[in-house]
Amino acid sequence: FIDIKDIVISPTITIGENNYNVTKIGDYAFYNSYFINSVSIPDGIEVVGKSAFQDSRKLVSIFIPDSVTSIEENAFFGCDSLNVYCEANKQPSEWDSGWKESMSDVYWGINEDNYIEQDGLVYVVLDKNAIVVGYKSTTPDVMIPSTITIKGTDYSVTSILYNAFIECTNITSVVIPESVISIGQGVFNGCSSLWSLTLPYIDTFLGYYFGSTSYKDNELYVLRSLSKVVITGGDKIDDYAFYNCK
């Protein structure tokens, strides 16, 4: 397989002199595709086939347009970290009842008014606040803004979803603004080149941001590449925050 992490499926293909619309993602099309982080499905796709993305365990983000009328069994089974962004306002009746088994979260009613990519960062707007949900750039230095603008409306960036930067091995530095009040677990899991991290606060142990569930495992989870942590705000540094960070 080619090591492409962000998959954009084309709405049409050309064979010879003929053009064809792509209407289905076939059964087992991306089965056990360990390298995929995100998938964009174009408008016009009608069917996501059986086990199409099953066991693609690094898949964290997929956008499903409302042209998709059928999702077949086990389409996303085993995609434990996956967040799905659906253009439809609710689940269509023809989607298999077990289509989202073992997944993380499903967001309905996602469209160009509340979903945007800017400077490689992917945002979803919920409750009038912007959430960073992914990163699709090769730029190594990431500076998250405190606000974004969608169609003339400003939204404060207040959260970073867990696994938002998972396996972004090209990233070397990240700056998080003080507008962010929630940073998800494992947000930098697998960012093996990250050496500088600027945080607005630290109200937990450092390993939490790399996937750990206990401060005792800081040494195992905090990346060896990380050599600089800057904290720009907050009232205190949490107990055991840097415990055993070697």
In order along its 246 residues, the chain shows pLDDT tens digits of 445 678 889 999 999 999 999 999 999 999 998 888 889 899 999 999 999 999 998 888 888 999 999 999 889 998 888 888 999 999 888 888 877 766 667 889 999 899 998 999 999 998 899 999 988 888 999 999 999 999 999 999 999 998 889 888 899 999 999 999 999 999 998 899 999 999 999 889 999 999 888 989 888 888 889 999 999 988 888 888 888 887
Determine the Cα–Cα distance for residues 104 and 113; give it in Å rounded to an integer.
23
CB-count burial class (<10 Å; 0-12, 13-18, 19+) for 189: buried
The DSSP secondary-structure symbol of 140 reads S
Q: What is the DSSP string of 82-141?
A: -EEEESSSS--TTS-TTTTTT--EEE-S--TTTEEEETTEEEEEETTEEEEEEE----SE
Determine the Cα–Cα distance for residues 246 and 243; give it in Å rounded to an integer.
9
153-160 vs 147-150, strand pairing mode: antiparallel
Count the Cβ atoms, other than its own, within 10 Å of residue 77: 21
The DSSP secondary-structure symbol of 142 reads E
In sequence order, the 6+-apart residues with CB closer than 8 A to the CB of 45 are 9, 11, 22, 23, 24, 25, 65, 67, 68
Q: What is the pLDDT of residue 124?
A: 93
Structure tokens at 166: 């998972």
Give SS3 for 10.
coil
Q: What is the pLDDT of residue 1?
A: 41
Q: Helices in the chain by DSSP H: which ranges? A: 218-221
Smallest CA-to-CA distance from 201 within 173, 235, 174 is with: 235
- Look at the chain and count its residues: 246
